[in-house]
Amino acid sequence: MKVVTNISQFPEFGIDEAALKKAIVKRFHKIKKPIYIHIDKNLVLSHGHHLRDWITDLVKYPTCWTPEFISEIKKHGDLYHRVCLSHSFVYNAFYHRRQNSVETKEWGFKEYFDFDPIDYSYIYLFFLLSHELQHAQQCDYLRLKNYQDKNCHLQYEKHNWKKYANVARNDNVLEFDAEVASIEKTIKLYESYF
């Protein structure tokens, strides 16, 4: 798996791009297709989202894509994973923690994690990335443009993870899997990053 980001275009966050890529490769090693992580200033209605995209649908490639990354996508049947993160929500996590912690209260950070408040920004970032990267893992092996949820790979299923029965959005199997992955993998990503 190859990971490319546009994070270097946002030095205000102080995110070590190389360390982030290394942590993602270590903790999400089951994903084989290339991943493009994109901080998007136009994404304002959600914290983030995942898309399984086709390179052939693009008119122009993002400037941070290298020829090696494009070649890697083509080796994987023109498919790649795009993970978009909202610039405004990430900005709030790093600079307006009080506002962001209100927005994410239902995510249960305090219930699931014991962390120093100074690390809140990174817990937020890794929680969000874990959720979206789990969606990438769910459909990584699928080839068709349109697919049914039942064909996706689930790592965390309700009957095996009863302690998370009350997790948010537990009525959808894909969202349940992604939410539990966020809980289980956030600290692992954090530890791999630092």
Distances from the Cα of 52 to the Cα of 34, 145, 191, angstroms: 10, 8, 27
- Phi-psi category of 53—alpha, beta or left, where left has phi over 0 and alpha has psi -120 to 50? beta
Domain ranges of the chain: 3-193
In 3-state terms, what secondary structure has residue 54?
Answer: strand
pLDDT digits (tens, 9 = 90+) for 13-64: 999 999 999 999 999 999 999 999 999 999 999 999 999 999 999 999 999 9
Q: What angle do CA 42, 34, 173 make, to 5 degrees?
A: 75
Length of the chain in terms of residues written? 194
Q: What are residue 142's phi and psi, to 5 degrees? A: -75, 145
* pTM for the predicted model, two decimal places: 0.93
